[in-house]
């Protein structure tokens, strides 16, 4: 509403003051637009469904419920950083990751759920493809984690990821982009494995158990 009133004042100062009905319609249109935007946010419906008082408590409980998965995913990410970059101080590698996460949250970039899931799909597609090939080449069993920096995995992920976000990079749409990223990641990882770009396997007792598949 403040923006609409400011616009009306600007028009009036310019000698183009809208009539009373026109000004009312401008305000009404702004209210409808604001209400529509509010309805598109799921959390905004809580106050309508359960009341404003209960909605505040539900939002508080929702924030508490978000802590366990957020902490667990951060723990997994920290371990991944330490495993992939063993020679880098974990405080630095994990700290950089945390700083990037904070920036993404503060700038509301992660608020674009569709865009975030597109990136996740493009990212995990080649990872799953590489895991599938590694599993298959190891006799249909998990051979164990790869030591340190695994060039084969990173090359497969980078190329597959570019395929997954090809439309964002070039504007051309790739049909079933996550599936295409999976296939490309699998093929590239297979080639990298055959030319010897994979790092050594860290043997684990549980990894030597044969699969029933």
Sequence ranges of the domains in the chain: 2-40, 112-213
Per-position pLDDT tens, the chain of length 213: 455 556 656 656 556 555 566 656 666 666 656 656 655 666 667 776 777 788 888 888 888 888 888 788 778 877 777 777 777 887 887 788 788 888 887 887 777 777 788 888 888 889 899 889 888 888 877 777 777 778 888 899 999 999 888 888 887 888 888 888 999 999 999 998 888 887 777 766 554 555 554
Q: Give Cα separations from 110 to 65, 80, 81, 103, 152 (angstroms).
A: 18, 21, 21, 10, 29
Give the separation between CA 213 and CA 80, rounded to whole angstroms.
28
| Sign of the alpha-carbon dihedral angle for 82, 85, 89, 91 | negative
DSSP state of 42: G
DSSP state of 198: S
DSSP state of 16: -
Rg of the chain over Cα atoms, rounded to whole angstroms, equals 26
- The two tokens of residue 134 are 């590694």
- pTM for the model stands at 0.57
- The two tokens of residue 144 are 């164990």
CA 110 to chain centre: 7
């Amino acid at each position: 509403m403040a923006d609409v009133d400011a616009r009306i004042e600007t028009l009036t100062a310019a000698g183009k003051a809208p009539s009373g009905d026109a000004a009312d319609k401008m305000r009404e249109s702004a209210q409808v637009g604001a209400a529509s935007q509010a309805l598109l946010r799921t959390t905004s419906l809580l106050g309508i469904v359960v009341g404003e008082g209960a909605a505040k408590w539900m939002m508080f409980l929702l924030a508490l419920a978000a802590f366990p998965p957020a902490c667990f995913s951060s723990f997994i990410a920290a371990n991944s950083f330490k495993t992939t970059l063993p020679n880098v101080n974990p405080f630095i590698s994990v700290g950089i990751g945390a700083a990037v996460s904070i920036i993404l949250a503060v700038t509301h970039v992660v608020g674009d759920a569709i865009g975030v899931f597109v990136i996740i799909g493009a990212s995990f597609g080649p990872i799953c493809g590489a895991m599938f090939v590694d599993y298959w080449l190891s006799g249909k069993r998990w051979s164990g984690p790869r030591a340190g920096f695994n060039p084969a995995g990173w090359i497969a992920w980078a190329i597959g990821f570019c395929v997954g976000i090809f439309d964002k990079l070039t504007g051309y749409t790739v049909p079933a982009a996550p599936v295409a990223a999976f296939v490309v990641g699998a093929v590239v990882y297979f080639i990298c494995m055959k030319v010897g770009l994979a790092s050594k396997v860290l043997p684990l007792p549980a990894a030597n158990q044969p699969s029933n598949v």
